[in-house]
Structures are given as structure tokens and as C-alpha cells.
Amino acid sequence: MKGGDTAETAPMIDPFGRHVSYLRVSVTDRCDFRCVYCMAEDMTFLPKREVLSLEELDRLCTAFIDKGVRKLRLTGGEPLVRKNIMSLVRNLSRHIESGKLDELTVTTNGSQLARYAKELYDCGVRRVNVSLDTIDADRFKAITRWGDLGKVMDGIRAATEAGLRVKINMVALKGVNEHEIIPMLRWCHEHGYDLTLIETMPLGEIDGDRTDQYLPLSLVRARIGEEFTLEDIPYKTGGPARYVEVKETGGKLGFITPMTHNFCESCNRVRVTCTGMLYMCLGQDDSADLRAPLRASEGNELLYEAIDEAIGRKPKGHDFIIDRRTKQPAVTRHMSVTGG
């Protein structure tokens, strides 16, 4: 620890010299969709006593901000289905106002955006990521099982009207929506939304077979390149996407490629689950329990110690692989537990 640094204010530097400045927090494991690559249809959700209260989530996020987190993203499950979620967002907005936090953002499926978009903007949120894999209503129903595309479209419009910048996240699924990627690109850029394509990740037991779903984005990029001029740009949002500018549309297109080209060397992120488990890497099972020190005392000394100890174990990279022999996921927990 440098001279003058306390455990509270010591920056989080991992064993590979990466400064951890980006925290993604899952506020709930619950969701009003059941996307086929993310959840089983008959999901068993966590008992409420295991889930951090909104006050505990605020305290936890604030501890990380005190230790140098500059960017905070709320995820789920679907974060906007958490009861009284806006009270947490409003409380966290004080860190934007004080200048301690550069950005507070949300990843959402869009189903509740029409209701909350204006309030999110009022709380200092300036952009949202909306997970949307298709703009075909029937296919949307097939992928999400429970989703209503009309509600999502209303939410995206409401977000834009409220002044929020919208980025669409689309998971590329072989044989499901791969033929929609170029139409989705056109639609996004026509409406002023950036688009990020994501390779399906081997997280959690689901009903389907991921070896059938997996579509390498190197192949997708080559296909898009036959129709558009793609120019690599240094643009970054703090996440793992590599961006290109599409010359013909002027819009940005991102690629998140955990399988074909991992992004670990510059990883500045950690994730906390809604139960207070800190995961230093999305693709590893190593974790640290922050709920116990959080609940053990009213002071944060134990919490700071637990965070420092965990950051000291952050691995160099993940071990994502889709095992074609066993067809087992690389990591057994669901994406909805860890947060997107």
C-alpha cells in the first residue's frame, strides 16, 4: 500500500498491474424474460434473505467508489424489475454529482424502460444498453419466451426521448438470428443507436445446446465486410467491445468476442452478484464473499480488506470454452446470477 493510502482509499491494482475502475453490480437474479441462451424456463430464483438489500447495495457500491471505481453499471437479471430500484439509482447519483463517479449506466432488456427512462435521466444516467437479439416479433417471442417486442420498442423510444443514448446488444446465435444481423445494423444506425454483437458464452445450464448456437464473430465480421466498409477505431466505453465505424452509415459497431479473441489483457472490470459475491473474472469460478463482511459490522474495514484480498487474486484471463464432448458450460452459474 502506498504511503498515505488507507484500505479505504487504496486503488485496486490486480497482480498484472491492471487498475480496476469499473464495477458491474447485479441488483437481482430475477427477470421478466427467459431468454433461451441465458436461463432455463423453470428457473429457481434466490430466496430474498440471500439477496442484498438496496441499502446494502448502496453501501457496497460506495465502498468500491471510495476505492477508485469510476464507472458503475447496474445489471441483473433485469435490474428494473427490482422493487424500488429507482431509490438505489437516485442514491447512487450523489456520486455523479460529487464527481467521484464518471458514469452510472444500466443494462436492461427494455421491458420497463418506458416507465423509468425519464427518471433514469434525472438521476444522472446518460446511456443504457438494451439487450435485443431480433426485431422480428415472432422470433423475439421464441428467443425470450416471455417477452413482448412492442413494450421493448416503446421503452427504447422513451429512452431516446428522455435524452438517453441507446446501445443495442445483440447475441449472435447460429441458425437463429444470424441472417438478421445486417438488417439490425441498418435499423440501429438509422435510429442513431450503436450496435454491439456478442458471441454466446458458456455460462450456466440451459435447455438448449450451445454448440449449436455458437457463431464466431470473425465470420460475422467478414460477412458484414462484404456489404459495408468497416474501419477499426480506438473508441472505448470501458467494456470489452472492440469497435469499428461503418463508413456507409457513420454508426459504430462493436464486437465482444470472448471465444474467438478474448479481451482479458485490458480487463479493468469486476462483478458483484446480488448476493454480494465478488467475481474477479466472468469466466472463472473464483469469488469472494462480500456479504459476510458487509453484514458483520456497521463499519467498512472488513469490507475493504475483503475487496483488497480478492483483487489480489484477479486472474490474467478467462477459460471460456464450449466443450463439444460433454456439452457442459465452462462455468455452471447462469449469466443472470453474475450480471451481464
Q: Which residues are annotated as a binding site for GTP?
A: 24, 73, 107, 167, 269-271
Binding-site positions for [4Fe-4S] cluster read 31, 35, 38, 264, 267, 281
Cα three-residue angle 126-131-137, rounded to 5 degrees: 125
| Residue for grid cell 466505453 | 237
* Sheet strand arrangement including 127-131: 230-232, 242-246, 252-256, 194-199, 165-172, 127-131, 103-108, 71-75, 22-26, 269-272, 277-279, 287-289
- Which helix (H) or strand (E) segment holds residue 195: the answer is strand 194-199
Angle (CA) 26 31 33, round 5°: 135
Could you tell me which of 59, 49, 89 has the C-alpha nearest to residue 298?
A: 59
Cα four-point dihedral sign 254, 256, 261, 265: positive
Cell of 168: 443495442
Q: Strand 103-108 and strand 71-75: pairing?
A: parallel
* Annotation: binding site: 24, 31, 35, 37-38, 73, 77, 107, 131, 167, 201, 264, 267, 269-271, 281
Residue ranges for the known binding site for S-adenosyl-L-methionine are 37, 77, 131, 201
